[in-house]
């Protein structure tokens, strides 16, 4: 019995190595509120076993009109804080690009996109309806040599009754990223059900915390004490493991 408990206490996310989706740079979006909060969120991820963190501030022309330079400036401030506090984690910034008219403008302007690693770019859509620009954006990104990763497909309710859309996205070269806490039911039972089916069908490529605040981290941590959910994640061939060498 003693051994059983000590093994459970040691569970962590080191099997994933890299988290690819979070909002830990203060002053840019609806994630970390200030420098202290950035430090707290990032050190929590390090203590949970992640060895690399690719953080992804929103680039959303309507609500968070962040630019490449603006993101890099804030990123360097957070990186300095991590060094000052000797936080042992590889830390990189990419972005989570909202596919809207502003994103199409960036494509037209030949934007040098911030990548998760290599040529992989994280994109998202509104939760209300499929973006009218989605397919054009996926095509143009790939034509420019980028590989799109669509964030949290399970959260797009408009696809729940039209499951084949997920397969079509994959066929069009779009990779899919699970919001890890979706499997806890954090976003509701329909989102969880869709996430479970996408896992079962092997349609996900990556997972990510999409951590904005401590409540997200607590939900993520709860997976470590749920034998069933943890086994599910450990058994799935997420490509997160391949990223670290390129950071």
Among 206, 90, 75, smallest CA distance to 150 is for 206
Nearest distance in Å: CB 148, Fe ion: 15
Residue list 43-102, contact with Fe ion (CB under 5 A): 96
Report in angstroms how near the CB of residue 210 gets to Fe ion at its nearest.
4
* Number of residues located near Fe ion, criterion CB under 5 A: 2
- Asked if 121 and 148 count as a contact pair (C-beta separation under 8 A), the reply is yes
State the minimum distance, in angstroms, from the CB of residue 124 to Fe ion: 6
Contact 31, 24 (CB under 8 A): yes
> Can you say whether residue 213 is alpha, beta or left, with left for phi > 0 and alpha for psi between -120 and 50 degrees?
beta
* Interaction of residue 154 with Fe ion, rule CB under 5 A: no
Closest CB to Fe ion among residues 19, 210? 210
- Using the rule CB under 5 A, give the single segment among 67-75, 170-178, 199-207, 210-218 that binds Fe ion: 210-218
- Residue among 96 and 205 whose Cβ is closer to Fe ion: 96
How many other CB atoms are found less than 10 A from the CB of residue 134? 18
**Residue 122: strand pairing partners:** 96, 149
Instruction: Give whichever of 11 and 71 is closer to Fe ion, judged by the CB atom.
Output: 71
Among 11, 154, 205, 210, binds Fe ion (CB under 5 A): 210
The residue among 11 and 56 lying less far from Fe ion, judged by its C-beta, is: 56
Q: How far apart are CA 209 and CA 197, in angstroms?
A: 19
126 neighbors 96 (Cβ within 8 angstroms):
no
Provide the token pair at 176: 């899919």
Nearer to Fe ion, 11 or 180 (CB): 180
What residues line the site for Fe ion (CB under 5 A)? 96, 210
């Amino acid at each position: 019995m003693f051994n059983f408990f000590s093994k459970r206490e040691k569970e962590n996310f080191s099997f994933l190595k890299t988290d690819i989706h979070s909002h830990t740079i203060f002053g840019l979006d609806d994630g970390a509120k200030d420098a202290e909060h950035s430090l707290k969120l990032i050190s929590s991820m390090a203590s949970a076993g992640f060895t690399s963190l690719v953080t992804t501030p929103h680039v959303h022309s309507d609500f968070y009109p962040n630019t490449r330079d603006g993101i890099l400036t804030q990123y360097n401030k957070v990186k300095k804080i991590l060094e000052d506090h000797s936080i042992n984690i590889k830390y990189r910034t990419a972005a989570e690009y909202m596919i809207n008219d502003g994103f199409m403008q960036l494509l037209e302007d030949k934007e040098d996109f911030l990548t998760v690693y290599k040529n992989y770019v994280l994109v998202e859509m509104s939760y209300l309806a499929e973006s009218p620009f989605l397919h054009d954006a996926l095509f143009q990104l790939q034509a420019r040599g980028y590989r799109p990763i669509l964030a949290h497909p399970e959260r797009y309710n408009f696809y729940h009754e039209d499951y084949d859309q997920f397969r079509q996205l994959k066929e069009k070269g779009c990779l899919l990223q699970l919001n890890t806490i979706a499997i806890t039911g954090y976003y509701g039972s329909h989102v969880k059900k869709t996430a479970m089916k996408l896992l079962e069908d092997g349609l996900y490529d990556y997972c990510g915390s999409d951590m904005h605040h401590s409540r997200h981290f607590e939900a993520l941590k709860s997976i470590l004490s749920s034998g069933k959910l943890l086994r599910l994640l450990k058994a799935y061939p997420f490509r997160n493991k391949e990223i670290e060498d390129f950071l």
